[in-house]
Structure 1
């Protein structure tokens, strides 16, 4: 399979994005998968250097690997995708966890787990919607931590 120089650069961006995603996997045994991704990216970046696109690549002293140039990263499409994915994941998880906490307080964990998916969705949608609306308007401005006193 042959790639144009532009396709090879796009492939290196895609692999960089994939490597960034693997960084968050801390499960046992993940190191082997992370290394496979890193090794493939290294191979593609080396190919870029050999194809006369060495100006797109730099050495990462901390990781002792090649990487796409950091100064071009901030404006890149792959960095925008990564940032957007992390942002969306944050808000989706926050809403889901806040709604779940509220429903557990209201109905109890045992009762919630006994509901069908349709019943659970029916009661959780209004709660989730409430949090989406709040966070859309105010971000985390109104989110506070309440420290509970230890009993003793």
Structure 2
């Protein structure tokens, strides 16, 4: 592979390839990686020395592959990745909590709610949760441990409720 660019441009390419492959393969075991992405990352990593970026990428003899150095992982790329993960965390938390509450209301309070009403209620709740998390973070969240019953206890409880 031949790439014609400056050292600065190659560093940007390195960042993009690293972050992209982290997103695609970061949560996978080695034998489960999506090969084309992992292989291209290795090709780009192998070129780092040619562009004077050997402080960022090194060949690991134990794993027989190129890997980011601690210096690279502690560089600004980590700030970008952390910011992305933080944003995704809060957005997913807001959407999932709003969806759960809207569905609970559908089941418990308004079983005749239409799909449009459900979606509108979810959007209202997303706004509420977003404001709540901006103001308080996770401070007000509490884990309510579900009651775990044996099969016999569940049958006895159901019988009592009849």
Please give the range of the TM-score, normalised by the shorter of the 2 chains. Answer: 0.7 to 0.9
Which segments of structure 1 move beyond 3 Å, counting only runs of 4 or more? 50-53, 60-64, 109-112
Alpha-carbon distance between aligned partners in 2 of 1:122 and 1:53, rounded to the nearest angstrom: 51
Q: Which has the higher contact order (CA 8 A, sep 6+)?
A: 1
**Within-5 A mapping of 1:1-152:** 2-23=4-25, 31=32, 34-60=34-60, 63-76=63-76, 78-108=77-107, 114-116=114-116, 119-151=117-149, 152=153
Q: TM-score, length-normalised on structure 2? A: 0.73
Deviation at 1:141, TM superposition (A): 1.5
> How many positions carry a matched residue from both structures?
144
- Which structure has the highest helix share of the two? 1
Structure 1: tracts of 5 or more residues without a match = none
Give the greater-gyration-radius structure (CA): 2
**What's the RMSD between the two structures over aligned residues?**
2.7
**Alpha carbons of structure 1 residues 52 and 138: separation in structure 2 relative to 1, 3 Å:** closer
Instruction: Extract unaligned runs of 5+ from structure 2.
Output: 154-162
Distance 1:60 1:142, change over 3 A: farther
1:9 to partner: Cα distance: 2.1
Instruction: Quote the Cα distance in structure 2 between the aligned partners of 1:52 and 1:103.
Output: 54
The answer to whether the Cα contact below 8 Å between 1:59 and 1:67 also exists between their aligned partners in 2 is yes
Alpha-carbon distance in 2 for matches of 1:83, 1:47: 26
Contact residue 103 and residue 124 of structure 1 kept, 8 A: yes
